[in-house]
Amino acid sequence: MKRAAAVAAVAMLVPLAPLLISLTTQEPGSKTSQKAGREAPEKPLARGTAQIRLLGINDFHGHLERSGESAGAASLAASLDRYERAYTIRVHAGDMVSASPLVSAHFHDEPTILAMNEMGFDVGTLGNHEFDEGREEMQRLIRGGQREGSEDTSDPDFPGATFPYVAANTLDRETGGPILPPYTVVERDGVKVGFIGVTTLETPGIIIPDAAQEFRFADISQTVNRHAAELQDRGVEAIVVLAHSGALDTDLGGTTDEIVTETKQMDDSVDAVFSGHTHNRLDLRVAGKPVVQAEEYGTHFGVVDLSVDRASGEVTGSEAKVVSVRRNGISPDPEVAGLVEKYGDRVASLSDRVVGTAGERIGPSPTEAGESALGNFVADGQRRIAGTDFALVPTGGLRTNITPGPVTYGGLFSVQPSGRDLIKVELNGGQIRRALERQYRSDGRDHRLAVSGLRYAHDPSRPLGQRVTSLTLPGGAPVDRNATYTVAVNGFLAAGGGDFEVFTEGRDPVTVGTDIGALARHAGGLPQPFVAPDPDERPRVALAG
């Protein structure tokens, strides 16, 4: 859904300082005005109540095409259109790009930004994955321009996002100032709504260290409260937070996870929170504020309806829900469908290439000890292709299943969409044990590693740093603490990502390919149809005792 060209031009000129942006409003019930640009109705009198609808998504990760995991961008666009009201604002809470399927990743996620432009988003914020390729690439996707050295896969006329990104707590480490505007204001039906963007404090530990060193991430609620006060000083009373920060254990309606804790500490001037990062459904009310998160990959979207007093600008009521995207019974948006088809056709020769045949479903669901068939399969492929003694794979990067039947390169890319280099490095047995110990975190959010070429047992009840109780070769011989072994890891681990600094101590690192290349060659080089090592029959990871 396109906005008026004038609106797009204003949104592209995003200064690096707090700003107010007033967007034109849409004529009630006018579908034509949605596509051609919104006409501003006569300015209403400053009385009565304005009804403002907010539609939001999170953690889209470039899932443009319809698949088993996603309804696709065209169906998402059509579903958003169906929930459009006369006065609607569309938002996102980050991780819209990176770790994307091949149709977006091959073109450096430019197709996803273009799809968001077509769908008419008004404002978004940064997730941790927007930092995956560093500051320069993150800002290029927002501001536009061709990616240097990628003339075949990057458009020289790529416009960037035609809507502002806000990021209040992501600060330049040297200057201390925000790297993007901390907030923006969108006007609908005579009232102004302020949007403040924030990103999880986990970000430095889950992005490549070289990228993390450029930034400092300030406390979420303190940052929100400071900028909320600034917005009120500017006469903006309706305030919404776009937070790439989530929560997990919400079955009973509450949790101590980050966004719940931070929302409790936000000032009463904040009226609603759109959440992201944890890829689950949140539909909570925390300290009187609706908090919504719409799962992942565009399968759902959050709806928050605000009643705003025109005279004071204050929110007088709010309702929220999370809605499933309709795959059937609704026609996909033709403009978005055409965009996705264009890029799908361009990458089809690579994406549709069959590399093997899976004899069974191979998934990432872990055993009680923390081992999965998919993790074993990927780790075996990296060890085999790199020709190393061991392989260690971060399971957080494994996104979906390998399904039975013909397996394409594009399908495998969706399983492991990080696109990292595969590194062969030398480590001693003591360093390998330290790497395994770094899986366990004090906050309980362990960063698990799949393994190949070794076995270990761990005891979750023991103190951090002492949980690995045994470490052996497959035949049972202990891994020698002082002996040198060759290990295959991806570029994220090799750089010390995820707080696995021990891998930076490795000697003689050599790039031997890519992680997706190793996975494709492994799948194609096995007896067909291939299967994965069963963690129940021959476990590599065990619980001690």
**Residue-by-residue DSSP string for 461-507:** TSPTT--EEEEE-TTSPBPPTTSEEEEEEEHHHHTTGGG-GGGGG-E
Mean model confidence pLDDT for the chain: 91
pLDDT of residue 250: 52
Q: Is the pLDDT of residue 377 over 70?
A: yes
User: What's the average model confidence in pLDDT over 151-158?
Assistant: 97
Question: Residue 20 has what pLDDT?
Answer: 37
Q: For residue 16, name the pLDDT band (cuts at 50, 70, 90).
A: very low
| Token pair 């949980």 in the structure block, residue | 467
Average pLDDT over residues 462-472: 97
* Strand, helix or coil for residue 317: strand
Supply the DSSP string of 158-223, one letter for each residue: ----SS-EE-SSEEETTT-SBSS-SEEEEEETTEEEEEEEEE-TTHHHHS-HHHHTTEEE--HHHH
- Say how many CA atoms lie within 13 Å of 496 toward its Cβ: 11
Query: Would you call 244 exposed, middle or buried from its count of C-beta atoms within 10 A (0-12, 13-18, 19+)?
Result: buried
Q: What is the pLDDT of residues 114-140, one digit of tens each?
A: 999 999 999 999 999 999 999 999 999
**Backbone φ, ψ for residue 408 (5° rounding):** -95, 165
CATH architecture of 353-543: Alpha-Beta Complex (3.90)
Phi, psi (rounded to 5 degrees) for 281:
-95, 125
CATH superfamily for 5-342 is: Metallo-dependent phosphatases (3.60.21.10)
Instruction: Give, in order, the Cα–Cα distances in Å from 127 to each of 1, 201, 467.
Output: 23, 11, 32
Please check the confidence at residue 94 and state whether its pLDDT lies above 60. yes
Encoded amino acid at 298, one letter? G
Which tokens is 494 given?
């090799």
- Give me the pLDDT at residue 12, please: 37
Comparing CA positions, the residue from 425, 429, 426 lying closest to residue 483 is 429
The DSSP output letter for 461 is T
Q: Letter for the amino acid at 123?
A: V
What backbone phi and psi angles, to 5 degrees, belong to 418?
-75, -30
**Mean pLDDT across 25-31:** 33
**Between 437 and 20, residue with greater pLDDT:** 437
Residue 46 confidence class, pLDDT cut points 50, 70, 90 = low
Q: Regarding predicted confidence, which is higher, 56 or 46?
A: 56
In 238-368 the beta strands, taken as DSSP E runs, fall at 238-244, 270-275, 281-286, 289-294, 300-309, 315-324, 354-358
**Distance between CA 243 and CA 292 in Å, rounded?**
10
Cα 286 to the center of its chain, rounded Å: 23
Residue 496 to residue 443: CA distance in whole angstroms: 20
Other beta carbons within 10 angstroms of residue 160's beta carbon come to 20
Closest CA to 494 of 395, 392, 416, 412: 392
- Predicted pLDDT of residue 522: 98
The closest of 388, 394, 428 to 500, measured between CA atoms, is 394
For residue 101, what are the CA distances in angstroms to 94, 278, 328, 516? Answer: 17, 19, 23, 12
Q: Rounded distance, CA 198 to CA 241, Å?
A: 8
Kindly give the pairing relationship between strand 455-458 and strand 449-452. unpaired
Domain map (residue ranges) of the chain: 5-342, 353-543
For 378-421, the pLDDT digits (tens) are: 999 999 999 999 999 999 999 999 999 999 999 999 999 988 99
pLDDT score, position 442: 84
Residue 7's pLDDT is 36
Which token pair is 163?
């809507």
What is residue 39's predicted lDDT score, i.e. its pLDDT? 42
Token output for 282: 């949140």
What are the tokens at 450? 């799949």
Q: Report CA 516 to chain centroid distance, whole Å.
A: 19
Question: Could you give the residue ranges of the DSSP H alpha helices within 234-325?
Answer: 258-264
Highest-scoring range by mean pLDDT, 8-22, 237-251, 390-404: 390-404
Long-range contacts of 228-232 (CB under 8 A, 24+ apart): 228/194, 228/196, 228/266, 228/267, 228/269, 228/270, 229/267, 229/269, 230/18, 230/183, 231/183, 231/185, 231/194, 231/196, 231/269, 232/269
Residue 249: band (very low, low, confident or very high) from pLDDT cuts 50, 70, 90: low
Dihedral of CA 494/496/499/501: which sign?
positive
Strand partners, 407: 356
What is the Cα 511 distance to its own chain's centre? 27
Using pLDDT thresholds of 50, 70 and 90, give the confidence band for residue 357.
very high
Least confident span in 14-18, 391-395, 494-498? 14-18
Whether the CA torsion 533, 538, 544, 545 is positive or negative: it is positive
Closest CA relative to residue 362, chosen from 373, 371, 375: 373
Number of H-type helices and E-type strands within the chain: 16, 24
For residue 237, what are its two tokens? 């009373």
* Amino acid present at 250: T
Cβ-based burial of 122 (10 A; exposed 0-12, middle 13-18, buried ≥19): buried
Q: What amino acid occupies position 120?
A: G
- The pLDDT value given to residue 248: 81
Q: Rounded to the nearest 5°, which phi and psi values hold at 503?
A: -70, -20
The Cα 532–Cα 540 span in angstroms is: 13
As a whole number of angstroms, the distance between CA 447 and CA 397 comes to 10
